Amino acid sequence: MSARIVHIARNTFREAVRDRVLYNLIAFALLLSGAAIFVSQISIEIERLVVVNLGLTAVSLFGVVIAIFIGIGLVSKEIDKRTLYTVLSRPVRRWEFIIGKFFGLAGTLVVNTFFMAIGVFGALLYVAHKFSKPDALILVALYFIILEFLIICSLALLFSSFSSPLLSAMFAFSLFVIGSFADDLRGFARLTHGFTRWFATGAAYLVPNFSTLNVISPVAHQQPLGAQLILQNSLYALFYTAMALSGAVLIFERRNLK
Amino acid sequence: MTARGCTTVIASASLALSMTACVLLLRHLDQIRPKATIEDVLYIDSPKMVKRASLGFDGLMACIYWTRTVQYFGHRHYSRERTYNELAPLLEITTALDPHLLPAYEFGASFLAPPPPNGAGQPDRAIQLMQYGIAHNPDNWHLYYDLGFVYYTELRDYTKASETFDRGSRVPNAHPFMKIMAAQTAEHAGDYMTARMLWSATFDSSRQTEIRQNAMEHLRAIQVDEDVSHLQSAVTRFGERTGRLPSSISELCAAEHLPSIPVDPDGDPYTMTPQGRILVKNPDDFPFISKGLPPGYKPSGPPKFHSKG
């Protein structure tokens, strides 16, 4: 990775921290500790399930919100503040700027997820009093959540490269919702015929399939996950992210910044 | 005081006042609103719709719905309500969201099957729930046990109970007592010994405090029902022999050559009415007994569980 990309990524990370993004960890900690303490008093036999389900769902949703709301402003904010011109007047290529921003945001989310993971395991220890071997599966679920963030970051950057922050947020959030229904969309495509079938199938493959990255329920029930699933999900997220980032680079390279 | 300090004081006072007013008003509003609008509303009653709306986070939604089910049942059970209209839909949504949520089946069947006020009096829905659970968790013998239990205790369908225990006994790692219960329910259906064996098995095989406590209360109730049956038979025999009713339970015990007046599981002696009816001293302490109750008995409050699980 070029030194310029590293610099841009580092500055993006610093900016996110300066914008008090990591404050969400306080809300997360309160939510999780509250659940761990009180759930046994209002429900029956699901303390561990609640901690795992709530913890991983919160990691995912908090991260998605951060990815979208920071990602959409990464390019437009630089244009509004006119700092982009300063950066691009130096020997920095436009694609390096996009890739640097992506790694900066992804780094922020990885750090955020790391602290949240500590919270999840802490709450789990509180309710279960010990760790068991299947608890390691939570790490796989967290890894898949990070893969999900990579896709969302790249999509937010893609939209940010040509659209306003408001529209970018709407597009990115809509894709997150549609991507959660990707399996249904594929099922719908199978029920149709002719052009509609082609169109629905194309749309089903074009939108990100977040349901394949969501293994929270099986992990909560300590069901094993195959190595093939881990490998193929990793490759899928890698290629999808590369696709969205390539699109962002293509658009941004041709964008008239005058 | 500076202008800034003055603003701080006024704003803080306004904040505290408004917050207190909001809380008080909400409490008042809860009292004047019909109870049903707070408790009985199931905003979305389609399991499929709830699953879709959960955006893939169906595990968390299942936990939320299960907690809601427990709260719904617990609240109505505590206030000895006789209707549980939302219980079955809540359980169906919970299990549709997470078909592997075993407590929802294990507790759900015991919420649905018993007659009111101890349950919803819907054994058919309990059976549907358990069959759905078995379809999604075919290797869990506990679910077969719970289904057979509903057939045995609520529907008195001993053939199906025996068949279900037998199916469960063939599941890998099934508890050996499943085979015994299949044979026992087939041969000795409906007697106290079989009922006692079933509840003892529930007590021994469950790690959940609530289920063990419930099983212990049922075992106590079986003991009372059996004692009262024996004593009532003794009264009948006494009448046939002497042509009159015993004047007291002591006279009955002497005639039956009993060393002392039999006592219930709490150690209180049974009593007898002048009409020869055997009663327990404190029926409220035995929420599941069917014998030994005074005529027209109605529980004075929510069921009391004394035994430790």
Looking at the structure, tell me whether residues B58 and B157 fall in a common domain.
yes
The answer to whether A57 contacts B60, with C-beta atoms less than 8 Å apart, is yes
Q: What letter represents residue B306's amino acid?
A: H
List CB contacts (< 8 A) between A46 and chain B: 63, 66-67, 101, 103
Does B55 contact chain A (CB < 8 Å)? yes
For residue B16, being part of any structural domain is answered with no
Residues B202 and B268 sit within 8 Å (Cβ to Cβ): no
C-alpha distance from A187 to closest chain B C-alpha (Å): 14
- For B287, the domain range is 206-309
Residue B309: its pLDDT value, please?
44
C-alpha distance from B70 to closest chain A C-alpha (Å): 6
Closest Cβ–Cβ partner in A39, A210, A223 for B56: A210
The string of pLDDT tens digits covering residues A60-104 is 988 998 889 888 888 888 888 788 888 888 888 888 999 999 999
Q: Which of B166, B191, B216 is the last residue of a domain?
A: B191
Any idea what the CATH number is for the domain that residue B109 is in? Answer: 1.25.40.10
* Look-up of token digits 């009262």: B228
Residue B256: its pLDDT value, please?
84
Polymer length of chain A: 258
> Which residue of A lies nearest to B97 if distances are taken between CA atoms?
A217
φ and ψ of B271, to 5 deg? -120, 170
Q: How many CB atoms lie within 10 A of CB B17?
A: 10
Domain count within chain A: 1
Residues B264 and B222 sit within 8 Å (Cβ to Cβ): no
* CA distance to A51, A121, A183, per residue, from A115 (Å): 15, 10, 31
> Which residue of A lies nearest to B69 if distances are taken between CA atoms?
A43
The residues with which B269 forms a beta bridge, in sequence order, are: B263
* Substitution target from B63, B70, B90 for chain A, most A beta carbons within 10 A: B63
Closest by CA to B91, choosing from B57, B67, B114, is B67
Residues contacting residue B216 through CB under 8 Å, at least 6 positions apart:
B203, B307, B308, B309
| HSE toward the beta carbon, residue A131, CA cutoff 13 A | 11
pLDDT tens for the 258 residues of chain A, in order: 688 889 999 999 998 888 777 777 778 877 877 777 777 677 777 888 888 888 899 899 889 988 898 888 888 888 887 888 888 888 888 889 999 999 999 999 999 999 989 988 998 898 888 888 889 999 999 999 999 999 999 999 999 888 888 899 999 999 998 888 877 787 787 788 888 888 888 888 888 989 889 899 899 988 888 899 999 999 999 999 999 999 999 998 888 776
> CA-CA distance, A19 to A11, in Å (whole number)?
12
Looking at the structure, tell me whether residues B170 and B252 fall in a common domain.
no
Return the DSSP state at B271.
E
Residue B222: its pLDDT value, please?
87
For residue B1, being part of any structural domain is answered with no
Looking at the structure, tell me whether residues B212 and B186 fall in a common domain.
no
> CA-CA distance, A156 to A104, in Å (whole number)?
13
φ and ψ of B17, to 5 deg? -65, -45
Looking at the structure, tell me whether residues B222 and B304 fall in a common domain.
yes
The stretches in chain B having pLDDT less than 70 are 33-44, 187-190, 300-309
* CA distance to A95, A99, A254, B205, B262, per residue, from A89 (Å): 14, 17, 16, 74, 100
For residue B174, being part of any structural domain is answered with yes
List CB contacts (< 8 A) between B67 and chain A: 39, 42-43, 46
Per-residue tokens: B272:
């007898």
Q: Give percent helix, percent strand, percent coil of chain A, each to the nearest 5.
A: 85, 0, 15
Looking at the structure, tell me whether residues B213 and B137 fall in a common domain.
no
* CA distance to A133, B161, B261, per residue, from A137 (Å): 8, 38, 61
> CA-CA distance, A95 to A87, in Å (whole number)?
12
Looking at the structure, tell me whether residues B305 and B211 fall in a common domain.
yes
DSSP-based three-state secondary structure for A27:
helix
Residue A258: its pLDDT value, please?
67
For residue B86, being part of any structural domain is answered with yes
The answer to whether B70 contacts A180, with C-beta atoms less than 8 Å apart, is no
DSSP-based three-state secondary structure for B234:
helix
Instruction: Verify cis geometry, omega within 30 degrees of 0, for the bond prior to B299.
Output: no
Q: Which of B142, B160, B191 is the last residue of a domain?
A: B191
The answer to whether A53 contacts B57, with C-beta atoms less than 8 Å apart, is yes
- For A234, the domain range is 3-254
List CB contacts (< 8 A) between B56 and chain A: 180, 210-211, 214, 216
Looking at the structure, tell me whether residues B92 and B225 fall in a common domain.
no
The answer to whether A49 contacts B71, with C-beta atoms less than 8 Å apart, is no
List CB contacts (< 8 A) between B52 and chain A: 181, 184
> CA-CA distance, A13 to A17, in Å (whole number)?
6
Closest Cβ–Cβ partner in A45, A214, A223 for B208: A45
* Look-up of token digits 């699933």: A229
The residues with which B263 forms a beta bridge, in sequence order, are: B269
> CA-CA distance, A126 to A37, in Å (whole number)?
8
Interface residues of A toward B, Cβ cutoff 8 Å, are 39, 42-46, 49-50, 52-54, 57, 60-61, 177, 180-181, 184, 210-211, 214, 216-217, 220-221, 223
Looking at the structure, tell me whether residues B179 and B269 fall in a common domain.
no
Radius of gyration of chain B from Cα atoms?
26
> CA-CA distance, A44 to B34, in Å (whole number)?
28
Q: What letter represents residue A71's amino acid?
A: G
Residues A220 and B97 sit within 8 Å (Cβ to Cβ): no
For residue B31, being part of any structural domain is answered with no
> CA-CA distance, B45 to B33, in Å (whole number)?
22
> CA-CA distance, B244 to B252, in Å (whole number)?
11
* Look-up of token digits 């007592």: B177
Per-residue tokens: B43:
């905003």
For residue B27, being part of any structural domain is answered with no
Looking at the structure, tell me whether residues B118 and B221 fall in a common domain.
no
For residue B28, being part of any structural domain is answered with no
Closest by CA to A52, choosing from A124, A129, A160, is A124
Per-residue tokens: A60:
């995912």
Looking at the structure, tell me whether residues B68 and B177 fall in a common domain.
yes
List CB contacts (< 8 A) between A220 and chain B: 59
The string of pLDDT tens digits covering residues B179-208 is 877 877 776 666 777 778 878 887 887 777
Domain count within chain B: 2
Looking at the structure, tell me whether residues B238 and B184 fall in a common domain.
no
Helix extents (H) in B45-157: 47-53, 58-78, 87-97, 102-112, 123-136, 141-153
For residue B162, being part of any structural domain is answered with yes
C-alpha distance from A166 to closest chain B C-alpha (Å): 22
The string of pLDDT tens digits covering residues B156-178 is 888 888 889 889 988 988 888 88
Polymer length of chain B: 309
C-alpha distance from B29 to closest chain A C-alpha (Å): 24
Residues contacting residue B9 through CB under 8 Å, at least 6 positions apart:
B1
Residue B44: its pLDDT value, please?
67
Closest Cβ–Cβ partner in B55, B59, B210 for A53: B59
> CA-CA distance, A189 to A240, in Å (whole number)?
21
Looking at the structure, tell me whether residues B264 and B298 fall in a common domain.
yes
Residues A101 and A14 sit within 8 Å (Cβ to Cβ): no
Residues B202 and B215 sit within 8 Å (Cβ to Cβ): yes
DSSP assignment of A147-170: HHHHHHHHHHHHHHTTS-HHHHHH
ipTM rounded to 2 decimals: 0.72
Per-residue tokens: A126:
């509180």
